[in-house]
Structure 1
């Protein structure tokens, strides 16, 4: 069994105190919310500053940064 530090990262997202998404698997450069009907304006994505790996808990905030993407940018192809 992998330790929490080497396991894939998951995220729980709340807006205005309400849980809108739970246990979403965090992937590099993949939008987390993706649907406007969840009540979250815009989107979130992790970016790997040292390669192209999916986030791990041990590197959150240093190697992997969570970015907010404004709604008008998140809907562009």
Structure 2
């Protein structure tokens, strides 16, 4: 890994991850999730292979949709 990537990871783990934990996110770096009843939130970090950059991706899902799709695909 590059030094810039190592520095970004260290800063995210020191500053961002504790904030995520306080917001009830679980998981391990770089993938986090939070359940909220029938919904869940997803957060992940992706790093550039050229170094010096990263992206944070966020998503919202529903257990209802996941269950519904699984049931319909088995019929």
The interval holding the TM-score normalised by the smaller chain is 0.3 to 0.5
More helix by share: 2
Which structure is larger by alpha-carbon Rg, 1 or 2?
Answer: 2
Q: TM-score, normalised by structure 2?
A: 0.39
